[in-house]
Amino acid sequence: MIAIDVRALTKSYGPHSRRGSGGQAVQALRGIDLSIPSTGQIVGLLGPNGAGKTTLVEILEGLRTATSGSVSVLGLDPADAPAALRARLGVQLQSTAFMQDLTVIETLRLYAALYPKTRPAADVLSEVHLTDKARALVRGLSGGQRQRLALAMAMLHDPDLYILDEPTSGLDPIARRQIHDILLGLKRDGKTVLVSSHYLDEIEALADRVIILAGGQIVADGTPLELLARAAGASTLWLAVTPPPAGLRSASSGDFDPGRLVPQATFEGLDGSMFRYRTADPTAAIVGLADALRASGATLDDLRLRRPSLEDVYLQLLGPQQEPTAPIEQHTFAGAQS
């Protein structure tokens, strides 16, 4: 089954986006084609501010209508069957508006009343590690606890598909890791999760597939490894040796020449006590380093390698980005979507 199927999707904003009016519309989406199967995976959605990420997910959720094109989510058109879709869709928006004077368990029970069938609230609280906060007032929760409560609200009716917009925005590393564990648990349960995020390291670590939006268009789509293969950036190699290799001295000055230590790499300088190199072939560089160490009798004290990351791919694809040309209104989430 296909979880999400989008064809030639466009969305325009502003008074000039209406048919028959003069002027030029602000186009948030420019002909998006996208298909995501229901195979139990995490799909990451990346892009700069104004790329169209929030517009896309809100159209999928039924909170906005497309200007043109077709949209199918779990076999339903969000614009034509919003109620039927909400029963099968788990959503967390950028901002969640809670009733501050309810307890955590009361919040879930109130939300459960909006659905014909839900899971036991206590079970969901256990999965998001909020059992000990069940009787606590929402106003007393930390940022990470609030995000986990928002996820619990999305999980309560056991949906087939999750769409999460910036679920870890503004959280500290520990709170982010807790959210990551929950998302990986959903994947293990066979759920498909679409996650919009600004954290490239998060998407690189979590996602089975990465989609990058820019200017309202998809500019990259593939597994993290497939996208990393497109990176033109070189790897960085750091190493420390002692004593300085006597057999690797400059012919002109007689001083130690770091450039001769790793023949297959370019010496860039010192980072503290470590020599830094750039290389397009880290395997060959390390083999060459081993040969140089054996020939000189030097001892390798430390070795560190950084390969091109998703951030490198992202920057190569996008470069400098302009700010959105028109403000995009934000939605908050208080119970069921409307």
Mean pLDDT, residues 99-106: 95
Tokens read off for 3: 């979880």
pLDDT given at position 74: 96
How far apart, in Å, are the Cα atoms of 217 and each of 14, 28, 32, 45, 188?
19, 9, 6, 12, 30
The amino acid sitting at 30 is: R
**pLDDT interval class at 127 (50, 70, 90):** very high
The share of the chain scoring above pLDDT 70, in percent, equals: 86
Beta bridge partners of 302: 240
Which uninterrupted H or E stretch holds 106? helix 104-112
For the stretch 10-53, pLDDT in tens is 999 876 554 444 556 789 999 999 999 998 999 999 998 889 99
- Which spans in 119-218 are helix H? 121-127, 143-155, 173-188, 200-206
Task: Please report, to the nearest 10 degrees, the dihedral formed by the alpha carbons of residues 191, 197, 201, 203 taken in order.
Answer: 30
* pLDDT above 60: residue 72: yes
**pLDDT interval class at 324 (50, 70, 90):** very low
- Identify whether the C-beta of residue 28 lies closer than 8 Å to the C-beta of residue 52: yes
Sign of CA dihedral 13, 19, 25, 31: positive
Q: How many alpha carbons lie under 13 Å from residue 216 in its C-beta half-sphere?
A: 17
pLDDT given at position 334: 32
Q: Domains (ranges, CATH) in the chain?
A: 39-66+78-230+315-324 (3.40.50.300), 235-307 (3.30.70)
Q: What is the pTM of this model?
A: 0.78
pLDDT given at position 338: 27
The share of the chain scoring above pLDDT 90, in percent, equals: 56
Which carries the bigger pLDDT value, residue 175 or residue 77? 77
SS3 150: helix
- Determine the longest span between alpha carbons in the chain, in angstroms: 83
- Pick from 68-72, 252-256, 321-325: least confident: 321-325
